[in-house]
Amino acid sequence: MRGVAPIKYMAKSTDVDGGKDFIVVTGAAGFIGSCLVGFLNQQGYTNLILVDEFDRLDKVPNLEGKIFSAAVERDVFFDWLEENRPVIRAFYHIGARTDTTEFDYSVHERLNVVYSKRVWEYCAKHGIPLVYASSAATYGAGEKGYDDRHDVIGELKPLNAYGISKNEFDKWAVQQAMQPPFWAGLKFFNVYGPNEYHKARMASVIFHSYNQIRKDGVVKLFKSHRPDFKDGQQLRDFVYVKDVIKVCVWLMQHRPVSGLYNLGTGQARSFEDLVRATYAGLDMGPNIQYIDMPEDIRDKYQYFTEANMGKLRAAGYVEPFYSLEEGVGDYVRNYLSKGAFL
């Protein structure tokens, strides 16, 4: 099957050849998931089973030109597995409810905890290696630092329902006696890059900055509401999606010690740095205005994140990460300015 199948579809059993080994990607029509599908295609993998909700027209372009074997609606996926029984060599569970402004925990619990447990149990039962998306939102305000050690996750205090749900699954996973033959929970920090056009309010600051520059020539950033941070100097670990997907595939191929792994660059940068890099990608000088942060997120806002990347490096990952200037420059020049997808 090449390209995007009709909306609201479920692959038929004839799409899955029982003589092949398949790779599953959940969240496959979303930001990181669709980039992962494209990267897997580039690596020669086309025997992919994609899982998502395929009724959103704004996600359709993310999968255009991608090659895969089957696409299955998320809510019927496990029934489909029982009916078709494909041989799965690897499982990337990227799908999640990621809206940090959704305060109803039950929404996050259903998708990020309950559904993830079903994925884990299926992989453990069938001996399938699993890489899944956790989040740096589990670290909360960083009172316990940003170390991906298992002995601290019970003490973490996430600031929102999304972070709580991700941490609850991490805590559950590390306690399981029955595990996949290899597993890695990746604590994504601030991921940015192509294929996030559909994310609206939850898209990266680069995406919003680019559109503000094109529209008004000025970027609006949140003021700091803490005396120890100046306006625009709130710090985050921004990581380019091209690095994220490379790590996902590397882990599955090399299978080091199972566990939780941070996935950032290891270097916190300011939002002002990020906006300056966005302007530079457009060959323009910066013009920044500061506005009050919405009250509904003011008490749940992370002012500093920085991944300790020692664990992944010790596992053997030696590839360099894009710098903020390199990543933002590539994103702006080669994707946002062209309306292009990865």
d(CA 96, CA 38): 19
Assign residue 174 a region (left: φ > 0; alpha: ψ between -120 and 50; beta: otherwise): alpha
CA gyration radius, the chain? 20
HEC letters along 206-266? HHHHHHHHHHHCCEEEECCCCCCCCCCCCEECEEEHHHHHHHHHHHHHHCCCCEEEEECCC
d(CA 263, CA 243): 9
Q: How far is CA 246 from each of CA 79, 98, 203, 227, rounded to the nearest angstrom?
A: 31, 21, 21, 38
45 is catalytic: no
338 is catalytic: no
Which of these is catalytic: 162, 210, 240, 317?
A: 162
Give the residue among 180, 88, 163, 193 at the shortest CA–CA distance from 125: 180
Residues 6+ apart with CB under 8 A from 177: none
CA angle 257, 260, 262 (to 5 degrees): 110
Q: Which amino acid is at 34?
A: S
Taking residue 181's Cβ as centre, other Cβ atoms within 10 Å add up to 13
d(CA 324, CA 326): 6
d(CA 115, CA 103): 19
| Alpha-helix runs per DSSP H in the chain | 31-42, 77-84, 105-108, 115-126, 161-174, 205-216, 241-254, 271-281, 295-298, 310-314, 324-334
Q: Tell how strand 21-26 and strand 87-93 pair up.
A: parallel
Which of these is catalytic: 144, 157, 171, 199?
A: 199
Catalytic residue IDs? 162, 199
